[in-house]
Structure 1
């Protein structure tokens, strides 16, 4: 099998890659005679063509001879090659309307599409993801935003740092007053957030103490779904019911917004679930949040002030508390500053790619050698010009023309 790493074509360009040069060299040696690897020439990738060539990997201008084509972000329709097998984050399985045309084209071109988001172990747990790096960069950017807003310190932008080690050195500049930071989520993304907050020396405290106690140092608390969602009928919480029927619940997050300075939203959100707060709530004098880092990046989702995604080049916009209008970043001291970059890991692309490639090496590559792989079957959305059985629910989405709300993208 010939495996090719494609050049990223989506704009803005993503610098990440599925495998580093050294990882491909190791794989080529280990699976000699079974798998061979090629890299499409790219000027934007975080690892240069020369680095791959020095590792003994062939760099080519035409990748169309390969059997499996691997990318990171969605492949532009005009770049798709008929009758090939692709693996990338397609952002289609939640009926994301902005990628309807992409899925239609994949079916028309008889492409077999696999999605990283669907690679899972026997327990249904995802085996490859960039979540930790979204959390690391998202937390760093939240501190950068607070530094810019307050004028207390000035960090280098994350994408200007060469690697994770430089990020650590930059964090030494952070000098915080006794503020409170609330973090939603307990998964990979939230754990990445905690890494950064712990490195800065911000103490983690229990939710009940966070709400009622004064601290003479900066602190943070981590919230799971049961901490800020309750059943409408009786105020209770049942995890299985919440995941299956989130519309039966309401948010009681406001009590945290009233004592916190920074919100880092790192929890997956179902569009049926309640929002953390309502837009009208930010008018209240009790609403204390001044910086929101929305790592989830759901437009008008769990964080209603996320009117749009921001970009690495223009990372922050402000929201006026009274008019709800968007302002330029840090345009008003009383406004709320929103950081909502939707491709955070690409700010540290070398580190993120190395960890991602290690996950693929352990969990994906061995599956390619099996004559029949249930893991890959379950990760396959389209095959032979049609949707696979597991994703037949997308048929109406492909066929119909209704406007569907854009859902959260995977990092």
Structure 2
């Protein structure tokens, strides 16, 4: 069996504080014979010295492009624009299989270089359940930010924090704006993100209405619009009717004032909230969709990075056993098959130019 060489890359997004492998789990990997190279990163929540102490090699940011061909490059979010031709196997969240903006170009980069995308969203067990996910903390933070916004206590720019500090801000206080009989709806309440959202809302003193598959099959739109806060935690894999439409925003019966789209599937034909065309971010976390009556949107696509230690530790604990079994096929084989199917579906062929 070929020795596995993992290369943990620096995340180029300035607000990405998470890591897919924490130092303690990097030590498990090196102790099992895996070579782990870690790029220095000014924003990663764990200092590179902790990885070095765990037996990892340390190298400069962005040097993965010249790593040996058999190296597996490990990251979380988007790859930098260069090099254009991707020659390695990359483990990350590619967001490239559902027609998202930039998807075709990313797949073309892999076919040009002969590399492979092993998308973490599609690292699943035999029943199709994801084996490593940030969903719980995404839902937790999404619901927390929605409540803080509704109560007039969300301040920008957002900064990373710890769970204890966040929970302290969530506790209801006398004089909170918009807090009289606050009602909240979580759609996708039984999934990972939905569970996190429910816990955060209860920490904020709000008992949420919980909808899942049964309730969305025959959507009660007036009931949806009759809540103050909506947290969408549904990641659609097949087309479904939109939960919220443009015409719903101007209806006279709308009580809804704050929407948090945890899924952030903007640009995809599977988007269940097609009422906005761009995500929000840490600098400007809230976008006003309507002035009268007010309707605010939160759609941040790296929510768990606001709780970087907690979310990274949980994710790493789930991913590490899969990395230890990297050469055994199974879930990683399914990742490869999904990549190959995406290449076939998009008709991307090696040798196409970027302008095609």
User: What TM-score range do you get, normalising by the shorter chain?
Assistant: 0.7 to 0.9
- Structure 2 equivalent of residue 377 of structure 1: 333
In structure 2, how many angstroms separate the alpha carbons of the residues matched to 1:224 and 1:82? 39
Cα 1:361–1:299 change in 2 (3 A) is closer
**8 Å contact from structure 2 (residues 37, 59) kept in 1:** yes
Cα 1:308–1:97 change in 2 (3 A) is closer
- Cα deviation 1:324-349 (Å, max 9, x = unaligned): xxxxxxxx462211111122111112
In structure 2, how many angstroms separate the alpha carbons of the residues matched to 1:228 and 1:82? 40
Cα 1:347–1:170 change in 2 (3 A) is same
In structure 1, how many angstroms separate the alpha carbons of the residues matched to 2:83 and 2:281? 24
Larger-Rg structure? 1
In structure 1, how many angstroms separate the alpha carbons of the residues matched to 2:251 and 2:86? 55
Cα 1:37–1:20 change in 2 (3 A) is same
- Cα deviation 1:301-333 (Å, max 9, x = unaligned): 32243232111110111122xxxxxxxxxxx46
- Structure 2 equivalent of residue 337 of structure 1: 296
1:78 aligns with 2:34: no
SS of 1:87's equivalent?
strand
- Structure 2 equivalent of residue 366 of structure 1: 324
- Structure 1 equivalent of residue 280 of structure 2: 310
SS of 1:379's equivalent?
helix
TM-score by length of 1: 0.75
In structure 1, how many angstroms separate the alpha carbons of the residues matched to 2:215 and 2:283? 35
In structure 2, how many angstroms separate the alpha carbons of the residues matched to 1:277 and 1:369? 44
**Cα drift, residue 172 of structure 1:** 2.4
- Structure 1 equivalent of residue 141 of structure 2: 137
- Structure 1 equivalent of residue 113 of structure 2: 109
1:255 aligns with 2:223: yes
Aligned counterparts, 1:46-125, within 5 A: 46-61=45-60, 62-63=63-64, 64-65=67-68, 67-79=71-83, 82-125=86-129
**8 Å contact from structure 2 (residues 78, 93) kept in 1:** yes
**Cα drift, residue 359 of structure 1:** 0.4
Within the candidate set 10, 14, 17, 1:15 is matched to 17
SS of 1:193's equivalent?
helix
- Unmatched segments (≥5 aa) in structure 2: none
SS of 1:160's equivalent?
coil
**8 Å contact from structure 1 (residues 309, 340) kept in 2:** yes
TM-score by length of 2: 0.85
Q: How many residues align?
A: 336
**Cα drift, residue 224 of structure 1:** 1.3
Within the candidate set 347, 350, 353, 1:396 is matched to 347
Cα 1:349–1:52 change in 2 (3 A) is same
1:268 aligns with 2:226: no
- Structure 1 equivalent of residue 209 of structure 2: 221
**Cα drift, residue 112 of structure 1:** 2.4
- Unmatched segments (≥5 aa) in structure 1: 149-153, 204-219, 231-250, 321-331, 402-411
1:128 aligns with 2:132: yes
SS of 1:292's equivalent?
strand
**Cα drift, residue 137 of structure 1:** 0.8
Provide the aligned C-alpha RMSD in A: 2.6
In structure 2, how many angstroms separate the alpha carbons of the residues matched to 1:76 and 1:25? 27
**8 Å contact from structure 1 (residues 137, 158) kept in 2:** no
Cα 1:309–1:181 change in 2 (3 A) is same
1:183 aligns with 2:186: yes
- Structure 1 equivalent of residue 165 of structure 2: 166
**8 Å contact from structure 2 (residues 30, 55) kept in 1:** no
